[in-house]
Amino acid sequence: MQRIGVIISDEPRINDEIRVPQVRLIGPKGEQVGVIATTVALNLAKEANLDLVEVAPNAKPPVAKLIDYGKFKYNEKIKAREARRNQSTAEIKEIRFRLKIDDHDFEVKKGHVTRFLNGGDKVKVTIMLRGREISRPIGGVELLQRLADDVEEFGTVESKPKQEGRNIIMTLAPKGKKVHTQSEQRRRGAESRAERQARQAARLAAKQEAQAQAVADAKASISPQTSDMKKQTSKEGSNAEDEN
């Protein structure tokens, strides 16, 4: 969105973008931490290797939550993609006939109509009239009715034959739930994509776990060194007192 030449982002403010002095903090598991200084909340986020995300900017004070924002955005993208795939994928296909069509061509075109209906798509069937045929459209209506009868196992007449200029048009729809289902090829494609997404999510989780373990190992290695330095400093101080 744009207003007065300024781009307004729909994305929430995160980390240092949050400029208010205080926030009502929610923990990574949904626990209520309470109202604390934003600087303290930022430090908690850094210690937990998470992001501070403003989830309710208009609240008093604004509500912020500790989450892994990168992982959150990735999951949102996957959910949106799946929602789009689960929507009806029906399309309107078109088949055109001539009034004086031979039986072989009729059977071929009927096969196309059957295939489209089985795939979950609607079919717009058009009879194209020429010359004197325009004044005697009854033959076109009969041809469309013949087609509808032949494919009634797979589809129903959604829009009855009607003349529009030089054409007679009828619309067929898949029977029952077929309008809202995918063809076998689409279903297999969806399953394949779901498997790829699962593998990607597993790799991402493993990478994050490895990074977290690396941070923990680094902290563990620093702690003994710090303890040894404190002991050494204490020992040197004690020796100095003994010499005095």
User: How are beta strands 63-67 and 22-26 bridged, if at all?
Assistant: parallel
Where is pLDDT greater, at 194 or 182? 194
Instruction: Indicate if the pLDDT at residue 216 is higher than 90.
Output: no
Domain locations in the chain as residue ranges: 15-86, 92-174
| CA-based nearest residue to 97, from 127, 122, 76 | 127
Q: What is the mean pLDDT of residues 141-162?
A: 90
Instruction: Indicate if the pLDDT at residue 146 is higher than 80.
Output: yes
pLDDT digits (tens, 9 = 90+) for 38-50: 999 999 989 889 9
pLDDT at 3: 42
pLDDT at 83: 76
pLDDT at 7: 44
Instruction: Name the average pLDDT for the chain.
Output: 79
CA torsion, ordered 173, 175, 181, 184, to nearest 10 deg = -100
pLDDT at 149: 92
58 C-beta neighbours (distance < 10 Å), count: 6
pLDDT digits (tens, 9 = 90+) for 26-35: 988 888 989 9
Q: What is the mean pLDDT of residues 72-94?
A: 78
Where is pLDDT greater, at 128 or 137? 128
The band of 4, judged by pLDDT with boundaries at 50, 70 and 90, is very low
- Residue 60 CA to residue 97 CA, distance in Å, equals 67
Q: For helices 103-118 and 138-150, what crossing angle results, to 10°?
A: 50
pLDDT at 5: 44
CATH class of 15-86: alpha beta
CA 46 to chain CA mean position, Å: 29
Instruction: Indicate if the pLDDT at residue 171 is higher than 90.
Output: yes
CA torsion, ordered 21, 27, 28, 30, to nearest 10 deg = -120
The band of 111, judged by pLDDT with boundaries at 50, 70 and 90, is very high
- Residue 92 CA to residue 74 CA, distance in Å, equals 33
pLDDT at 29: 85
Q: What is the mean pLDDT of residues 181-192?
A: 60
pLDDT at 208: 82
CATH of 92-174 among 3.40.250.10, 3.40.50.150, 1.20.140.10, 3.30.110.10: 3.30.110.10
